[in-house]
Every structure is written in structure tokens, then in C-alpha cells.
Amino acid sequence: MAKQKPRTLSGFMELLPGPQQQMERIMEILRTTYSLYGFTALDTPIIESSEVLLAKGGGDTEKQIYRFEKGDSDLSLRFDLTVPLAKYVAIHYGQLQFPFRRYQIGKVYRGERAQRGRFREFYQADIDIIGDGKLDIINEAEIPSIIYRTFSQLGLERFQIRVNNRKVLNGFYAMVGLEAQSQDIMRTVDKLDKIGADKVKSLLIEELDVTEETADQVLHFIAIQGSNQEVLVALEDYRGKNELFDTGLDELSTVVKYLAAFGVPEANFAVDLTIARGLDYYTGTVYETTMLDHPEIGSICSGGRYDNLAEYYTDKQLPGVGISIGLTRLFYVLGEQGMLNPNLPVAPADVLVIPMGDEQQGYAIATATRLREAGIRTQLYAEQKKFKARITYASKMEIPYALFLGETEEQEQVVALKDLNKGEQVTVPFSEAVQLIQAGITAANQGKVIQE
Amino acid sequence: MAKQKPRTLSGFMELLPGPQQQMERIMEILRTTYSLYGFTALDTPIIESSEVLLAKGGGDTEKQIYRFEKGDSDLSLRFDLTVPLAKYVAIHYGQLQFPFRRYQIGKVYRGERAQRGRFREFYQADIDIIGDGKLDIINEAEIPSIIYRTFSQLGLERFQIRVNNRKVLNGFYAMVGLEAQSQDIMRTVDKLDKIGADKVKSLLIEELDVTEETADQVLHFIAIQGSNQEVLVALEDYRGKNELFDTGLDELSTVVKYLAAFGVPEANFAVDLTIARGLDYYTGTVYETTMLDHPEIGSICSGGRYDNLAEYYTDKQLPGVGISIGLTRLFYVLGEQGMLNPNLPVAPADVLVIPMGDEQQGYAIATATRLREAGIRTQLYAEQKKFKARITYASKMEIPYALFLGETEEQEQVVALKDLNKGEQVTVPFSEAVQLIQAGITAANQGKVIQE
């Protein structure tokens, strides 16, 4: 028979079992952490009607959409989890309670040019808090706490949550008469890290027709640095000149004020006036999260406050705040940087049960059943292979324990338990084997997924 | 602004938060149970190259495929999890250990005619054990144990795992000279439950040109019923006439022999000679699982043994055995039948923390942080609403506990804890509140997802 060469499309992540186990662990930690903050799980379709999904229209994203016809339906694959959330809230508005807090971890699709580390199918892990008409600033203050706990639980320590407020930025630009150009200016200022202050100044003057004096004011403003308190104090100098600015400064101060109560250490948080986020729908607090030792990776968790989640679907005013982790890319980067803890178990089973002869098949099966009842992940090795091949299998699978069951063991109703990492073997009653295995598994699972 | 009417495509399940929590619970139980048997999690792309996905070609499925072009690529959405598994094993053969045991819970796509209870996007939950060249019969004997534990953990009791062996069937049909027609005959015999023995006999004679004598033999064979032992004894009468049959009978006997050791009660298992499974790639044991009180639903978990998983991609002989649960349809049916336990918590949080005034905001935040550190799912209620609105929110969300934090509580460093189900309120130190909440949550989570 002629064979079709099997392949996986480029830009689509498909992991081997070991790395997949790490990915599963990360997803489990995300689910648990988001749940701790009262977010409910949602799952929306991957396919939506194009007219619904693309109601907002335009933008860079549209070219990348996977869009196709099926029958007489014009369909598209979702390219993020925010538009489906807007649709969901608009449809189910009457059945939801607000604030509505949801998390969703799901695949999204963008037909980008394939290149290393770029994915066309990738997981996003999103949380959003949606208010009905209003949403208190405390929700914006809570977000850094969720980011902090999420990455801490994953094992990351050297990261910084960088926070700004769009009202502060827009208010400032209004003060200096650049209100109409604020989007263009923010895009230019965003290049500060890359091209330096002098070049930013030139661009402002030459390309955006800003006067030299105003350009200096802009550079002076975004150069404000220091501890959170120092930045807030410096911003107070601008108070009283623009109402929007003052509101933004109050919000930013509130976010900083409750950091400690929310359990976020100062070391993992910074007010950073250079953060703007590209998307123009953010209207309040904005967040980026960077790995201190890998600034080149960019933000690993971003988001912000917006005023109107579902304006394309409903007249209801639905303000919200949300953040998103690009999980597939993060996982890829962690792997590339060697930051996935290799000491965590990735074997699919904790114990391999090996009958020494056909006569012990029944005893082996009954023992495997009892192990599973004790919550131990157990694989029964049933193949007719030489003893050495069985041990090789366990060791290649990195299964930590093997249980040998021969005639003697069955007669005496004991088990021969081998710790395959230490190479030590003991013959013990079943209950003792369970305790040894459970203790071993607990110890092996102590570490965190990410190691720095 | 003109609004786009938001809608979700028909045939696509989108759950409200409460039911979604139940779905999440079911998925968690599946993951845990599959892991107990040493299956590793896999996640393959939803989009595949059409030439790879449709290598087998033909069949009813092909018309239903979501297939489209993107750039110059011919792409398709997966319609099951078996073809992607075959592709995966063929690609990664050299990096896998065999037997290779994987589970995958993922969405698949079939553009069927939309009708109530039929889905175009639906979850399948699959497990497969793949051997390299050979795979021992014990693996086939283990499958009923996995089915049994899965449904038991979900809370189902009145179900039956019905098992047959294709070698027994094909061997028997060879014995009576119907080898060439065995597929057609099995399809006809499959109607026994619906149309009765007389009509099956007529169809065999009239449509398939079977002689009356042979038709009687067929009906006599598939009428074999009774306890597992009785059926096996009756089958022994046919031994020695066909080699394939004898092998099949040995296999069936082995599967039955180890049932008890695998922890499967007789009541939940039956050898049933009418089970054939439509798919012609099954070659040994086949499985169906029916709900005893809802036979109309059909099989909720089916599968079987096959000889060659990846024949379209590789010359390697890769026999396997697997089962699949159509999770979305099962969930839908359970909902329709009122079988989803309404007593299990579906609230996104266990506690709603309510500051009684703005001055208690800090105390409320710190208390919420401590609750989360204790592993309690906590929502901070931050909105500026009247006290009654806050309580209504908690009760509509079905959050079981509220924590009121006023001036007195903060001064005395205690919390006012209200059990919203019982309507009882106590003022206690934080640590005591944690204990009360944890005990309450544990008690509330005792039940199983499915109730009969």
C-alpha cells in the first residue's frame, strides 16, 4: 500500500509525552490559581460565524484569520478569547451575575508567517472581570495579585509586573496639547528602550511635528523613574491641570496602595510610565509582565482595563479588566531557555507492575487494581518480553518504581518493590509498598515547573 | 453604532457557568482516571493537512469534514482523535516507548445536519494502547476495568459494559460459509433489538441470499445468552471448527477470566454476541457501554482492538486497543435526563468577602489573600453597592459563604462568617472561619456528578 508521509503543519505545536506532561502541569496550575480568585471556567466554540467574530472589522488581525465557507455559512476560527467573551456576555447577559469573572484556556488561530517560536495555533489563558455599567478600581488592583500568584506557583521568581494607567498618559498628553496625536506619540515613545531618548525626540519633532519644548516635556515625563512611591510623588507635580490625569493618578495610587494587602512584593511590581499597550481599547490600568533575565522575550502576561467589552453586539455598557498569557509561546520560550524543571516526574505512571510469569498474571492484575484504588498511577506490564526488556521499558519511560511479582511473592502475599532511581529493592507487604511509593511520589513532585 | 446580533452557531455547545463547572468536573475525573492507568496526556493540532488527515479517504465522514484552503495549503479540521494519533505515532515512532498508552480529550468537528442533541463541534475523550508489532490480550482485558472505574467515579451505577470478539464472529461466519458476506450480515443482525428475530431472518434470506438453514444457525448463534460463564460454555460447542473462532474464544475467555482481579463486578459486564461495532478495522475484542435505564441513548463508550493503527503512514505494524467517549453528547444527554447532580457546588467561589465600608477595604483584601493562601476559592466583592445587593449577588451566584468585615471585626481582628445555605452567622477568629469553610466545602463536594 502506498503510504502518505505523515507530518504536522508548521506553526502547530505538537509535544512529545514528557514535555506534554509539563504543559498539563502548567495548565492545572493556571486553572487552580484562577479558581482561587473566583473565576469561573468557560469554553466557547473555536468556530464562529464570520459576521459575528469580525463585527469589529479591519485591523491587522483580519488578514490572518482562518476563514472559510461550509455549506452556505461563512465561518471563521477565533483569533483570540476576548471577542468570543464579548459575544458570550452579550448573548447570556440576562443569565449572568455581574461582576462576571471568567477564565478561559483555549486554542486560538492566526495564520501568521511561520517562523521559529511563532505559532498559528496557540493557547491563550485569559481572565476577565466584567462589570455591568460600572466596575470598581479595586478589581484593577487585584490583577497584579493574580499575575503574581500565577507565576510564583509556576516557579518563576525573577519577574516584574509593570503597570501604568492610560488616563495618566492621555491626561498628560492633553496637558501638553498633544491630545489628538496621543496614539502616534505613544507608539513612538514605546521605542524608547530600543532606540534611546535622543532618537525618540528627533522622531517626535520631525515626524510628528511636536515642538522641541513639548518633546522635552514628553521625554521628561516618561523618564520619571524610581520606587513606586517616588513615581507617584513625581506624578503629583502634574495634578490639577487635567481632570483625566487626576483620575488616572488616583487609580494608579489605589492600585499601588493595596499591593501589600494583595500579597504582591514590591520587588515584583513597578509603576512604569513607558507601558502603553498597543491596543486602543484600553482606558485605565494597563499591565505587562517581563522576565527580568529575559527582557528580549517581551511581555509574558499583558492586559488592562477597558470601558466597553461588547459594544459591537449590545448597547449595554460593559466595562472590564483582563489579562492574557500566550501560553504556547511562553512554553516554547521556557523550553528554549532550559527553564522547564527536568527533575519533575514526566512518566505517565508511578509504578510498573511486572508479573514474573504467566501464573502471576492474576496476582499482578489484582495488585495493580489495589494500587489504583490507593490513587497510585499504575501501569501493568503485560507483554511477553524478557525481564531485561521490561526493566528497560520502565527506565526509558522514567517510571520511578517497579513491582516484581513472582511465585514466592504471590505465595507470601508480598511484593518486591524496586526504586529504579536509587536501584534499591525491598520485599514488603502491599500496604508498606503503597506508603513507600506515595512518599516517593510526594517528594518527587515537590519542585516547581519553572526553574531559574 | 449599528450592532451585530451576537449568536453562537447551531450544533456548537456553549454552556452557562453552572453547567460548565459540571463539565469541568467530568473532564477532571476523566483525566485523573486515565492517569491512574498509566495513560499519558496528548494534545494534537485541530487543523491538519488534508492529504494527511484524509489519507484513508472515502467513507461517510469525508462529506462532513470542515475542509478549506489557507494560502496554498489544503487544510482540514480533525473529525476524530484516532487519525491524529496514527499520524503522531508514525511521526514520533522512534521517540516513543511501546506499549504506548495515551489519552486525549479534545474537540473534533463534523459538519452533520444540525439537529437536537447532535453536535458539529464536540469533545471526544479517547484512550488507546498501541503496541509495536504485538500487543498482549491482557490489554484488552484491562479496558473494561477502565470503563468501569471511569463511570463509577462519575457516579453512574446502572450501566453495562458489553463485550464481544470480532474473531469469534468472523470465525463463526466462516464456519457457516458466510465469510465473504460477514460485514453485511453483521449489519443486519445488528437490527435484532429493533426489528426482532423473524424480520432479521427474512432479511438474511431475502436480501443476502442466505439459506434458511444457515439463517437459523446465525439466529441460534446470536441468541446465545446468559451469564458470562454460560455464554462461554455455549461457545465451546463451536470449538475446533475454525482456527480464528478458537483464538477469539480464547481471547474472550481471558477477558472474562480477569474481570474480578481488574475490579469489574459481573453486574456491570456482559459478553454479548450481538455487539459487532460498525467499523471494519476492529479485529478482536469490541466494547459498547449502555445505560441500563436509557438503552435509547445507545453506547456511551465504545471501541475495540485493531491490528494496524497507522497503515496509511508507515509499514510498521502497530496493533492497538482503544475506547472513546463522545463527551459532549453524553453531557447533553445527562442534562436532558436530569442526571447531573444539582447538589454539587457550581459557584465559582466558596466565599464572598464583603467589606462593610470603604475603610475596611484593606482588611477585606488582606483577608481574601489569606483565604486564598489557605486554598479557599475567594471572591472579593469590591463594588459600591447596597448591602442587600451584595447578598443577592452571593445568593444568585450560589456562593455558600459570605464574610462580612466591618469596623468592629477589623478592630477585634475577627470575621463575621455567614453560611448562606443555613442562614447562620458566627463571629470567629480567621483560623476558625477557615476550618468551618473547609469543612463545609468538603461536605458539599461529597456527591458525584451523575445521579440516577
State how far residue A337 is from chain B, nearest Cα, in angstroms: 22
Query: Chain A partners of B12 at a C-beta cutoff of 8 Å?
Result: 45, 47
CA-nearest of A160, A151, A117 to A295 is A160
Query: Chain A partners of B101 at a C-beta cutoff of 8 Å?
Result: 348, 379
- Cα three-residue angle A296-A120-A71, rounded to 5 degrees: 160
Q: How far apart are CA B137 and CA A414, in angstroms?
A: 26
- What does the pLDDT average to over B293-303? 92
Residue B111 and residue B135 in contact, taking contact as beta carbons nearer than 8 Å: no
State how far residue A277 is from chain B, nearest Cα, in angstroms: 25
Residue A70: its H or E element: strand A67-70
Residue A198: its H or E element: helix A197-208
Residue A98 and residue A112 in contact, taking contact as beta carbons nearer than 8 Å: no
The ipTM value here is: 0.95
**Contact flag B4-A349 (C-beta cutoff 8 Å):** no
Q: Which residue of B has its CA nearest to A364?
A: B261
- What does the pLDDT average to over A261-269? 96
Is residue A165's pLDDT more than 90? yes
- Cα three-residue angle B385-B388-B393, rounded to 5 degrees: 75
Residue B88 and residue A9 in contact, taking contact as beta carbons nearer than 8 Å: no
pLDDT at site A414: 96
Q: How far apart are CA A56 and CA B123, in angstroms?
A: 29
Is residue A421's pLDDT more than 70? yes
Q: How far apart are CA A54 and CA A35, in angstroms?
A: 30
Q: In the structure, how many helices (H) and strands (E) does chain A have?
A: 17, 16
pLDDT at site A63: 82
- A183-192, B11-20, B23-32, B258-267: range with lowest mean pLDDT: A183-192
* Residue in A45, A92, A310 nearest the CB of B121: A45
pLDDT at site B268: 97
Q: Taking all residues of chain B, what is their mean pLDDT, rounded to a whole number?
A: 94
Residue type (1 letter), B227: S
pLDDT at site B191: 84
CA-nearest of B161, B183, B132, B188 to B286 is B161
What residues contact B59, with CB distance under 8 A and at least 6 apart?
none
Is residue A60's pLDDT more than 70? no
Residue type (1 letter), B123: Y
Q: How far apart are CA B190 and CA B180, in angstroms?
A: 17
Q: Which residue of B has its CA nearest to A383?
A: B136
Residue type (1 letter), B173: Y
**Contact flag A396-B97 (C-beta cutoff 8 Å):** yes
pLDDT at site A217: 95
CA-nearest of B441, B414, B434, B416 to B370 is B434
Our measurement of the distance from residue A96's CA atom to the centroid of its chain's CA atoms, rounded to an integer in Å, reads 25
Cβ atoms within 10 A of the Cβ of A367, count?
Answer: 25
- Encode pLDDT of B238-277 as tens digits: 999 999 999 999 999 999 999 999 999 999 999 999 887 7
- What does the pLDDT average to over A135-160? 97
- What does the pLDDT average to over A349-359? 95
Residue B171 and residue B246 in contact, taking contact as beta carbons nearer than 8 Å: yes
State how far residue B363 is from chain A, nearest Cα, in angstroms: 8
pLDDT at site A191: 84
Strands A401-405 and A424-428, sheet pairing: unpaired
- Looking up cell 466596575, which residue turns up? A135
**Contact flag B262-A69 (C-beta cutoff 8 Å):** no
Domains and CATH numbers, chain B: 13-130+308-340 (3.30.930.10), 153-288 (3.30.930.10), 351-444 (3.40.50.800)
Q: Which residue of B has its CA nearest to A363?
A: B261
**Contact flag B91-A134 (C-beta cutoff 8 Å):** no
List alpha helices for A55-156, DSSP H. 61-64, 82-92, 137-154
CA-nearest of B144, B143, B110, B111 to B128 is B143
What residues contact B398, with CB distance under 8 A and at least 6 apart?
B18, B345, B346, B347
Query: Chain B partners of A134 at a C-beta cutoff of 8 Å?
Result: 383-384
Residue B92 and residue B100 in contact, taking contact as beta carbons nearer than 8 Å: no
- Cα three-residue angle A145-A150-A151, rounded to 5 degrees: 105
* Residue in B35, B90, B258 nearest the CB of A365: B258
CA-nearest of B132, B170, B142, B174 to B308 is B132
CA-nearest of B309, B268, B267 to B131 is B309
Our measurement of the distance from residue A360's CA atom to the centroid of its chain's CA atoms, rounded to an integer in Å, reads 47
Residue type (1 letter), A96: L
- Encode pLDDT of A361-408 as tens digits: 999 999 999 999 999 999 999 999 998 999 999 999 999 999 999 999
Is residue B279's pLDDT more than 70? no
Greater confidence (A222 vs A352) lies with A352
Is residue B19 packed enough to be buried (19+ CB in 10 Å), middle (13-18) or exposed (0-12)?
middle
CA-nearest of A261, A431, A450 to A344 is A450
Query: Chain A partners of B361 at a C-beta cutoff of 8 Å?
Result: 138, 258
pLDDT at site A256: 96
Residues of chain A above pLDDT 70, percent: 99
CA-nearest of B302, B257, B207, B40 to A346 is B40
The 3-state secondary structure of chain B, one letter per residue = CCCCCCCCCCCECCCCHHHHHHHHHHHHHHHHHHHHCCCEECCCCCEEEHHHHCCCCCCCHHHHCCEEEECCEEEEECCCCHHHHHHHHHHHHHHCCCCEEEEEEEEEECCCCCCCCCCCEEEEEEEEEECCCCCCHHHHHHHHHHHHHHHHHHCCCCEEEEEEEHHHHHHHHHHCCCHHHHHHHHHHHCCHHHHCHHHHHHHHHHHHCCCHHHHHHHHHHHCCCCCHHHHHHHHHCCCCCCHHHHHHHHHHHHHHHCCCCCCCCHHHEEECCCCCCCCCCEEEEEEEEEECCCHHHCECCEEEEECCCCCCCCCCCCCEEEEEEEHHHHHHHHHHCCCECCCCCCCCCCEEEEECCHHHHHHHHHHHHHHHHCCCCEEECCCCCCHHHHHHHHHHCCCCEEEEECHHHHHHCCEEEEECCCCEEEEECHHHHHHHHHHHHHHHCCCCCECC
pLDDT at site A99: 97
* Residue in B42, B68, B314 nearest the CB of A20: B42
Q: How far apart are CA B216 and CA B118, in angstroms?
A: 38
Query: Chain A partners of B8 at a C-beta cutoff of 8 Å?
Result: 44-45, 48, 87, 91
- A150-159, B103-112, B182-191: range with lowest mean pLDDT: B182-191
Cβ atoms within 10 A of the Cβ of B2, count?
Answer: 5
Greater confidence (B183 vs A357) lies with A357
Q: Taking all residues of chain A, what is their mean pLDDT, rounded to a whole number?
A: 94
Residue A323: its H or E element: strand A320-326
| Half-sphere exposure at residue A105, Cβ-oriented, CA atoms within 13 angstroms | 20
Q: What nine digits make up the cell of B187? A: 449489519
Q: How far apart are CA B396 and CA B415, in angstroms?
A: 22
Is residue B321's pLDDT more than 70? yes
- A180-184, A439-443, B102-106: range with lowest mean pLDDT: A180-184
Is residue B41's pLDDT more than 90? yes
* Residue in B15, B136, B263 nearest the CB of A43: B15
Is residue A446 packed enough to be buried (19+ CB in 10 Å), middle (13-18) or exposed (0-12)?
exposed
Is residue A18's pLDDT more than 70? yes
Strands B320-326 and B302-306, sheet pairing: antiparallel
Query: Chain B partners of A42 at a C-beta cutoff of 8 Å?
Result: 15, 17, 20
Task: Provide the terminal-to-terminal Cα distance of chain B, rounded to the nearest Å.
Answer: 50
Q: What nine digits make up the cell of A338? A: 532550559
* Residue in A13, A261, A365 nearest the CB of B262: A365
- A115-119, A247-251, B239-243: range with lowest mean pLDDT: A115-119
pLDDT at site B58: 60
* Crossing angle (nearest 10°) for helices B212-222 and B182-189: 60
* Residue in B5, B92, B366 nearest the CB of A16: B92
Residue B312 and residue A4 in contact, taking contact as beta carbons nearer than 8 Å: yes
Asked if omega into A99 is within 30° of 0 (cis), the reply is yes
Residue A34 and residue B378 in contact, taking contact as beta carbons nearer than 8 Å: no
Question: pLDDT confidence of A35, banded at 50, 70, 90?
Answer: very high
Greater confidence (B62 vs A315) lies with A315
Q: How far apart are CA B317 and CA B154, in angstroms?
A: 36
Query: Chain B partners of A46 at a C-beta cutoff of 8 Å?
Result: 46, 107, 121
- What does the pLDDT average to over B431-437? 98
Q: What is the torsion angle, in degrees rounded to the nearest 10, for the CA atoms of residue A360, residue A366, residue A370 and residue A372?
A: 90
Evaluate the CA torsion angle B86, B90, B92, B94 in order and state its sign.
Answer: positive
